Structure 1
């Protein structure tokens, strides 16, 4: 990753922070974009662009362009921004489906569209999306979330085909990620079977690396020890 310029969306979340720290530790320069306010001052190897609603195409373009301008180029986009909701179809609110689509699909779509011109100018342009194993087969109460993640999967495949030979586009499909929020939501679960943010970050950064130059259109399961 040495010398690469990477944009991480959802950079201030549990996974985004780990991916950012790992990328910087491997020599990358990282622009973190998040809906939350920026929390750290700029440094030589990282900047934070806070208060950005990536579900809005104009805001996404401004943030991506600002990140590329700050570092002079863009080599990889890691789309981590997203959300989760659990509710049954019969008793739920249709607005939840719209919210999940906006948070999971539109954020990745808008950031990717904005990044394409920059990534196409890189010698090794990369886009990595965050799908979900639940997007392959949904369980009860997972309809809105799973449908939106299935949309991320199709976005990944279609964009990979459109950009083949120019930019690689892949997605990781984690099972349950070991975060504080998930532990609080499932206090009786066996967390030893979950995927740690570090494990997932390792896979994401592999896909962003030169070693993954021949991999595109992949939906890579990262299912821990389940």
Structure 2
């Protein structure tokens, strides 16, 4: 990981922060992109590019180009930006489906398209997306979210085929991640069965590592303990 430049979208979220912190302790340099305003001071080896709406291709290009100009190269793009909505078909509307697609799919598409030329110049170009186990078999109320994450899975496979031999493209498929937001929204759940952010982060960083150079097009479940 030493010396690698990682672009992380959704970097101010629970998973993004975990990935960034671990990667930096291992010598990586980080471009942290998020829709939210900056919450911390810039530090050596970390560039924050905040207030960026990656559903807009122009803003995605600005952010990725800025990261590449700042560090002089890009080695990995971690598409962690996204969102979740629980909504049944009868109680919801089509705007929710469009919003989930924009947040979970378009953000990854727009960032990846701009990053590809930079990653192709790296000796170890990597893209890691975040899918979901909920997209493998969707339950009631999970339609909009699961449909969007299923699109992430297919996007991952297609892009891996397009980039084979140059850039590896993989996705991690977590179940429920143990975050403060999820605990608040599901107070009656058994938190002990949930996946810890660090566990997902470690898998993501493995896929960025040299040890995963032969892994591409993989959709890897992170199912927790229940």
Alignment TM-score > 0.5, same fold: yes
Alignment of structure 1 residues 173-188 onto 2, 5 Å = 173-188=173-188
Alignment of structure 1 residues 55-134 onto 2, 5 Å = 55-134=55-134
CA drift of 1:39 comes to 2.1
1:136-193 CA-partner distances (Å, limit 9, x unpaired): 1110000000000000000000000000000000000000000001111111111111
Distance 1:187 1:44 in 2: 38
CA drift of 1:47 comes to 1.1
Distance 2:135 2:85 in 1: 13
CA drift of 1:44 comes to 1.8
Distance 1:71 1:43 in 2: 14
Distance 1:181 1:28 in 2: 28
Matched position secondary structure for 1:91: coil
Distance 1:133 1:141 in 2: 15
Matched position secondary structure for 2:48: strand
1:33-66 CA-partner distances (Å, limit 9, x unpaired): 0001122232221011001000001110110010
Q: Match of 2:163?
A: 163
Distance 1:204 1:183 in 2: 23
Distance 1:190 1:26 in 2: 33
TM-score (norm 2): 0.99
What is the number of residues matched between the two proteins?
Answer: 226
Distance 2:156 2:198 in 1: 23
TM-score (norm 1): 0.99
1:97-150 CA-partner distances (Å, limit 9, x unpaired): 000000000000000001000000000000000000001111000000000000
CA drift of 1:10 comes to 0.2
Q: Match of 2:136?
A: 136
Distance 1:21 1:45 in 2: 11
Q: Match of 2:150?
A: 150
